[in-house]
Structure 1
Amino acid sequence: MRYYARKSGFYLVALWAALTLNFFIPRLLPGNPVDVLMAKLQQRGGTVDPSVRRSYELLLGTDTSETLWSQYFSYLGNMLRGDLGISVSVFPAEVSAVIGQALPWTIVLVGMATLISFVLGIVLGTVVGWKRGSWADALVPATTVLAAVPYFWLALLLVALFASALNWFPLLGGYDVALSPGWNRDFLFSAVHHGFLPAMTIVISSVGGWLLGMRNMMVSTMSEDYLLTARAKGLRNSRIMTRYAARNAVLPSVAGFAISLGFVVSGSIITEQVFSYPGIGSRLLQAVQNNDYALMQGIFLVITVTVLAANLLIDLLYGAIDPRTRVQN
């Protein structure tokens, strides 16, 4: 019980530290979100006077008459109430609504791509590790090279080949704008069609890491005594590979996969920008460009909570599976 209480306390402190950084870092950036809104209002022919500016400051929580610490405690209170504020870049929409619209796109795209790359990398890594020294080892340098290719270059290459030259997939967007979003066949097919190239970019770039990690763990596991015992019993090679070697070698990769799932909500900014995909990464870049404190803080909060929750879950599961991890040094 002390182990679980200690871990929970650690992650609560980590959450508070992340929230504090989440508040101060955007305010260290040059510019002011009120100035952005005032400039937009002026471009549209609106009235720009001190009273309007004061209203925007109160609305966005950047009241210059308050001290930075007063704004900080107000920010913490708003976070506890779930009030993420008003977005400047999508004014006057609430931050929670903006994140709610973009987050499902990112979770589906990046989540599915991460799952596919993990499964593909583990399967290939198992085969390559089991047949080490054979032709299968050629997959390792090939996938490592692909993992080293910059995201944006690979994305542009796929766009040029499959979208522009072959015209198999659309160039931009998350779905056909002529369709109304909903749980119907036409929209779902359009969303899958538009998301195929972005997902392929993520899979190609990340599968090499899973393959290499699994391959190395397979090579290490195959020297264990219990595999020699399994062979001595006359078990089939396929059973030894899957039930004995792969089952034990995959444990570190499962932990890494759980952590990577925590980063799914952060999206893939470069991939989403290349394909103009309506995910959370595009919203984050838009918030940075417009000094949108509230939207930046809201997105960082979602990312932070998800990553911390994933790490806490892993720690608690390890504590339940392996009692040795609960022993204090």
Structure 2
Amino acid sequence: MRHLLQKLGFYLIALWAAISLNFFIPRWMPGNPVDIMLSKLAQRGPVTPETRRAIELLLGGDSSLPLWDQYWQYLGQVLGGDLGVSVAYFPTPVVQVIDQTLPWTIGLIGISTVISFLLGIGLGQLAGWKRGSWLDNVVPVTTMFQSVPYFWLALILLFAFGSVWQVFPLNGGYDVWEVSPGWSPEFIGSVLYYGTLPALTIVISSIGGWMLGMRNMMVSTLSEDYIVTAEAKGLKPRRIMTSYAARNAVLPSVAGFAISLGFVVAGSIVTEAVFSYPGIGSALLQAVNSNDYALMQGIFLVITLSVLGANLLVDLLYTVIDPRTRARA
């Protein structure tokens, strides 16, 4: 229990620090979302001080207050779920923009990351167990794809399977002309069809790292004394591979997977830009181009929560996977 409380205390402090930085950094940067909005309104006529004041309050700011008062006001708004109004998607609230784009990113990047991790760990386990086999020789090929620039690989797959053979669509998240968003089989099938090529690109570019890491850890683990003891006791090779070798070899990969899973919410800006996918990465890119501080702050806050949550989950999972952690605690 004490170990758990220490972990929760650490993550609460980290969350507070992240929220504080999320507040101060945009205010120290040049530019102002209120000025951007006023410049758009000024094209239609003169802008009064009252108009500026109204827009400032609408976007969640109040320059008449001292910075520390603005900070406490911001903390209250965050706790109340009010992240302001987006300039890029005006007059849509930031929470609504995130609510519309986040499921697309989690569905595409999240599922692709999980598939890549499971395939990489499984293949790496077999490659490390059977050193010198054909699967072990495939590892350098998979790591080669990881070193290839992602956008280049995505463009090649788009050209091959979207333009030359026309197996998959070139862009979008679903067929906007034929189906309507909902839980209908037609819409779900369209989403899967449009997301296959982006997901395939993510899996191809990331599976090599998981496979190489797991393979090397398996080779190192198989030389440990407890593996030799298990073999001397006459245990079945499959049990030795899964229950003894793989269980210990996977620990570093689980920590890396937590970080990757946390950054799933950030999306892959390159992925969503190349495939014109309507995820949170596209929303973040639009926010940066429009100096939309409210939307940037909201997205960064969600990213922070996802990273801290994923790491906390893995810390707790470690106590289940590795009994030595419980002993130290």
Fold equivalence (TM over 0.5)? yes
Deviations along 1:7-54, one digit per CA (max 9) or x if unpaired, are 2111111111100111122223322111222233345x3663333222
What is the distance in 2 between the residues matched to 1:326 and 1:48? 66
Task: Report the Cα offset of residue 257 of structure 1.
Answer: 1.9
Q: Does 1:72 align with 2:71?
A: yes
**Conserved in 1, the CA contact under 8 Å of 2:108 and 2:195?**
yes
What is the distance in 2 between the residues matched to 1:93 and 1:325? 47
What is the distance in 1 between the residues matched to 2:40 and 2:184? 38
What is the distance in 1 between the residues matched to 2:264 and 2:176? 25
Kindly tell me: are residues 143 and 46 of structure 1, through their superposed partners in 2, closer, same or farther at Cα, counting changes over 3 Å? farther
The residue that corresponds to 1:88 in the other structure is: 87
**Conserved in 2, the CA contact under 8 Å of 1:3 and 1:326?**
no
The residue that corresponds to 1:266 in the other structure is: 266
**Matched residue SS, 2:50:** helix
What is the distance in 2 between the residues matched to 1:274 and 1:324? 43
Kindly tell me: are residues 324 and 197 of structure 1, through their superposed partners in 2, closer, same or farther at Cα, counting changes over 3 Å? closer
Kindly tell me: are residues 319 and 116 of structure 1, through their superposed partners in 2, closer, same or farther at Cα, counting changes over 3 Å? closer
Q: Does 1:177 align with 2:176?
A: yes
Root-mean-square deviation (CA), in Å?
2.0
1:101-120 map, 5 Å: 101-120=100-119
**Conserved in 2, the CA contact under 8 Å of 1:61 and 1:71?**
no
The residue that corresponds to 1:49 in the other structure is: 48
Name the amino acid aligned to 2:124.
Answer: G
What is the distance in 2 between the residues matched to 1:77 and 1:246? 47
TM-score for the superposition, normalised by structure 1:
0.92
The residue that corresponds to 2:147 in the other structure is: 148
**Conserved in 2, the CA contact under 8 Å of 1:262 and 1:307?**
yes
The residue that corresponds to 1:250 in the other structure is: 250
Name the amino acid aligned to 2:65.
Answer: E
Name the amino acid aligned to 2:208.
Answer: G
Kindly tell me: are residues 63 and 168 of structure 1, through their superposed partners in 2, closer, same or farther at Cα, counting changes over 3 Å? same
**Matched residue SS, 1:266:** coil
The residue that corresponds to 1:300 in the other structure is: 300
What is the distance in 2 between the residues matched to 1:235 and 1:16? 50
Deviations along 1:124-151, one digit per CA (max 9) or x if unpaired, are 1012111223333322221111111122
The residue that corresponds to 1:17 in the other structure is: 17
**Conserved in 1, the CA contact under 8 Å of 2:254 and 2:314?**
no
Task: Report the Cα offset of residue 215 of structure 1.
Answer: 0.2
Kindly tell me: are residues 119 and 87 of structure 1, through their superposed partners in 2, closer, same or farther at Cα, counting changes over 3 Å? same
Name the amino acid aligned to 2:216.
Answer: N
Aligned pair count reads: 327
TM-score for the superposition, normalised by structure 2:
0.92
Name the amino acid aligned to 1:252.
Answer: P
The residue that corresponds to 2:60 in the other structure is: 61
**Conserved in 1, the CA contact under 8 Å of 2:173 and 2:194?**
yes
**Matched residue SS, 2:265:** helix
